[in-house]
Structure 1
Amino acid sequence: MAEIKDPENTVIITLKDGDVVIALLPEVAPKHAERMKELARAGKYDNVAFHRVIDGFMAQTGDVEHGNMESPAYNARRSGTGGSDLPDLPAEFSKLPHDRGTLGAARSMNPNSANSQFFINFKDNHFLNGQYTVYGRVISGMEHVDKIMRGEPPASPDRMIKVQVAADVQ
């Protein structure tokens, strides 16, 4: 695991293959970083599916409204359409590029509609620059992200087993 320099602004996502450590970027996108920590601390991201995973592009998750259905009849048609019960966030665009391993805020066509969903870039996706908020970077465990089941939605989606702020891990 990578050295964690700022535990309060580091998130650990446990996947089936191992932990993914993400350094949040509160100096670049403070509202998005704060929202991720708030939802992680509330346990809202636990067991949420990766509902849109496109090979050579990105893995999207974070639909806390629909994405943590336990039943085998998991409603894939609705996953990806929801957020959280918190208000949407304003865009926090920056000059940071959407490089491999960066965390981007998923949203609708409205730039100010990001809420709880996010994606991790499998490769450099610079065509997204200036259009989606970058608010984190994988510092360890990208090999586990690379193993997430592909599909829109995947037939048997991988899930974020647990999401924690590093400062809260004993």
Structure 2
Amino acid sequence: MKTKRIISSLLAGLLISSASLSQATVVEVRTIMGDFQVNLFDEATPQTVENFLEYVNSGAYANNVVHRSVPNFIVQMGGFTYNNDFQLDSVATGTPVNNEPVFSNRRGTLAMAKAAGNPNSATSQFFVNLTNNSSNLDVQNGGFTVFGQVLGDGMSVVDSIAALPVFNFGGAFSEFPLRDYSDADESNSVVPDDTNIVIITDIVVIDDAVVTNPDLNPVRNTLINATPSQPDAPSSSSSGGSFGIGFALLLAFVMATRRFITRR
């Protein structure tokens, strides 16, 4: 009987542990190219989720933009706001959050961007993994904190954004995805506006229940102490400023604040 009670207790513990992985808030990322919902890992990455929801609830992500897209790697956002005056302004950021590299950077997961060489530097910027980036992002810079997962067919929206052509305006905007914008526009120094930029109209909480998607089973990060697949791969910054007076001003401001994700 004692053995049975021990086994029962262990099984119950495993069930509770599994459930805790899916205890979550669900948010909806609303973009001009469609909406997608994200299950946040409140219990497994509590500090990161709390940090993210502070930006959500403050309205910091209203009129935000997707400022970086790298094919078969990531789509990044959270750093800049379009202010309707043909300018991009940096999101005001708070205290950086401690790193929580619990889960693996697999396709469809959301993770925090951070400064190179500083695991505990994430603020407002985050990205969606387009593919399995575990061999790189689970390892580099203390591992990149995965704090949510795209639900249902939401990746179709992310993939449509990732399919847009990218343009190099330097700094944070060296891999800038744009709609209805051509190489000729770039050559003629045409400044992109709201008809070209991928704007996130808002991110809102749509379900704050304790357990929202119990079927989710995010993969654990088991590579945290491994050697990166490409340790010398270049970093790309995501820095701040205003965009609209011209490319010169853009390039002058974009180095104000750096956030890095290392490419595979």
TM-score clears 0.5: yes
Per the alignment, do residues 19 and 125 of structure 1 end up closer, same or farther by CA in structure 2, a change over 3 Å counting? same
CA distance in 2, matches of 1:45, 1:166: 15
Q: Residue 90 of structure 1 aligns with which residue?
A: 98
How far off its partner does 1:124 sit?
1.1
- CA shift, 1:115, in A, is 0.3
Q: Aligned-pair RMSD on alpha carbons?
A: 2.0
Task: Report SS of the residue matched to 1:112.
Answer: coil
- What is the 5 A alignment of 1:49-128? 49-63=65-79, 66-72=80-86, 74-75=87-88, 84-94=92-102, 96-109=103-116, 110-126=118-134, 127-128=136-137
Aligned-pair CA distance for 1:17: 2.9
Asked if 1:34 is matched to 2:50, the reply is yes
C-alpha spacing 1:106/1:83, structure 2 compared with 1 (3 Å): farther
Give the deviation of 1:18 after TM superposition.
2.1
**Matches of 1:132 and 1:83, distance apart in 2:** 21
Q: Using structure 1 for the length normalisation, give the TM-score.
A: 0.81
**Contact residue 93 and residue 124 of structure 2 kept, 8 A:** no
How many angstroms does 1:150 deviate by? 4.6
Match of 2:138 among 123, 126, 129: 129
Q: Contact 1:12–1:21 at 8 Å: present in 2 too?
A: yes
Query: Secondary structure of 1:51's match?
Result: strand
Number of residue pairs the alignment of both structures matches:
154
Q: Please give the alpha-carbon distance, in whole angstroms, between the structure 2 residues aligned to 1:67 and 1:31.
A: 24
Mark the structure with the bigger radius of gyration: 2
After superposition, give the CA deviation of every residue in 1:23-50 in whole Å (9 maximum; x if it has no partner). Answer: 0001221111112212111111011011
Q: Which has the higher helix share?
A: 2
Q: Does 1:21 align with 2:37?
A: yes
Indicate the residue corresponding to 1:139 in structure 2. 151
Cα distance in 2 between the residues matched to 1:13 and 1:146: 14
Residues in 2 aligned to 1:88 and 1:32: alpha-carbon distance in whole angstroms: 10
Contact 1:45/1:162 (8 A) holds in 2: yes
Query: Tell me, what secondary structure is at the counterpart of 2:107?
Result: coil
CA distance in 1, matches of 2:33, 2:155: 11
Name the residue aligned to 2:192. none
Return the offset for 1:83: 5.1
Distance 1:44 1:71 in 2: 17
Partner of 1:158: 198
Change in Cα spacing, 1:158 to 1:146, as seen in structure 2 (3 Å) is same
Unmatched 5+ stretches in structure 1: none
Higher relative contact order (CA 8 A, sep 6+): 1
Q: SS at the partner of 1:50?
A: strand
Partners of 1:160 and 1:33 lie apart in 2 by 19
Contact kept, 8 Å, 1:83 with 1:117, in 2: the verdict is no
Sequence identity of aligned pairs in percent? Answer: 31
SS of structure 2 residue aligned to 1:21: strand
